[in-house]
Amino acid sequence: MTEVKPFKTILYATNLGTHMRPVFRQAVNLARIHQAKIIMLHAVAPIGMTGQAILSMYLPDKEVHDIEQDSMNQVIETMRERLKNYCSEEDDICKDKDALIDKIAVSAGNPADVINHYAETHGVDLIVIGTHTRHAGGHTMLGSTARTVTQHSKVPVLMIPNGE
């Protein structure tokens, strides 16, 4: 039988969507219960080969790299601002946020691949992700990122409903 280990590092994967609050709240609650740290991660889809080719025609490689880096920094700043707003509105949740939030990270790539790779390379014990449900023809559908993460993850994944 596999030994059940406590969660010490929780990866909260966010798409920065408007319905992520329940997911973050669950990550915070679990971090408190397990005395764990949270890594907030957002995956940015790469611009692709066509976008790279177009940009490189008009800009030197260094400027393209600088633009990409500026964009990543902007996303991190957006995440910090949302965390600040969230905590000001739900102060009972975030009274100890500085002790809970270990890192805010942004990485480029396919979101499911980024999440699983990040979890494997950063000693993550649990991934907390929203289901990103959509309603199609009266049925609730699981988002492709959540589905792929759960299929390929080597660590436990907790999916939290975050549909509209």
Residue 7 is encoded by which pair of tokens?
């969660």
Percentages (nearest 5) of helix, strand, coil residues in the chain:
50, 20, 30
Question: Does residue 135 carry a pLDDT above 90?
Answer: no
Q: At what angle do helices 61-89 and 48-58 cross, to 10 degrees?
A: 120
- CATH fold for the domain made of 10-136+145-160: Rossmann fold (3.40.50)
- Domain assignments of the chain as residue spans, ordered by start: 10-136+145-160
Q: What is the DSSP string of 78-111?
A: HHHHHHHHHHHH-HHHHTTHHHHEEEEEEEES-H
Question: Does residue 105 carry a pLDDT above 60?
Answer: yes
Lowest mean pLDDT across 30-39, 91-100, 121-130, 150-159? 91-100
Residue 62 burial class via C-beta count within 10 angstroms: exposed 0-12, middle 13-18, buried 19 and up? exposed
Of 45, 25, 30, nearest to 112 by C-alpha is 45
Going along the chain, which residue ranges are E strands? 9-13, 37-44, 101-108, 126-130, 134-136, 139-141, 157-160
Question: Does residue 128 carry a pLDDT above 90?
Answer: yes
| Residue-wise pLDDT tens digits, 34-89 | 999 999 998 887 666 676 666 666 667 666 667 677 777 887 888 888 778 777 77
Q: State how far the Cα of 137 lies from the Cα of 102, in Å rounded to an integer.
A: 41
Question: Does residue 97 carry a pLDDT above 70?
Answer: no
* Over residues 114-125, mean pLDDT: 95
Q: State how far the Cα of 159 lies from the Cα of 149, in Å rounded to an integer.
A: 10
